[in-house]
Amino acid sequence: MRGYKRRNFFIDRSYQGRIIMRILQICFAGLALDLALFNYLSYRNVEAMRWRTHIQVDTLGEIVSSYLVYSSVVALLLTGAALFVYIKFMRQKTAGPLYRLHKDIAFAADGDLSRNIWLRGDDDFKDTAEELDRMISSIRADFRLLSERMVDIGRTVDLLEYTADRPSIASEKCRQLIEYLEPLQKIRR
């Protein structure tokens, strides 16, 4: 049986930390709500029962157990609703930037390097967009260099075809062509 190695992907720890901290804050707020609601309900009931001597109670749990259930259900429902709203908000907040990144990358993949990738100032994934924009700018500069050199290369090919029958001119032109084409080898592949 083949074991799976742990896959390491680039993780933006600050982004994930913000999301996790907000989820934990919502959960702790729900826990605090549960505690406060339980204390309020049980204190009110225990205080009222203290003055009724004809009620037989064996344990305190008999009095407050129903309030524990009520407060827990209410807190769970409110916390669940808050988490649902937060997750829906985060989905909306990340869907826009991801859609714009996808659209701009599709344009670049189709050969349109004239567009820049941009996101709004408060969008997530801004650093990813800046890195992609820098990559596209670099590819754009390489293509610009190649297109500028293609005109000269075309002239040199024509000249080489002309000098093919003349060995003395051809060797000099080949040397010049090699000197001219060496910088093109430095372009990233």
The structural domains of the chain, with segments of one domain joined by +, span 12-110, 125-189
Query: Tell me, what's the pLDDT at 97?
Result: 83
- Those residues whose C-beta lies under 8 Å from the C-beta of residue 175, and which sit 6 or more positions away, are none
Q: How far apart are CA 111 and CA 109, in angstroms?
A: 5
- For the chain, the average pLDDT equals 79
pTM over 0.75: no
Give me Rg for the CA atoms of the chain.
Answer: 35
Q: Which is more confidently placed, 168 or 78?
A: 78
Exposure string for 83-106, b = 16+ CB within 10 A, e = fewer: eeeeeeeeeeeeeebeebbeebee
Mean pLDDT of 90-98: 84
Residue 54: predicted pLDDT: 66
Amino acid, res. 183: P
pLDDT surpasses 90 at 110: no
Type of residue numbered 21: M
C-alpha span between 185 and 144 (Å, rounded): 15
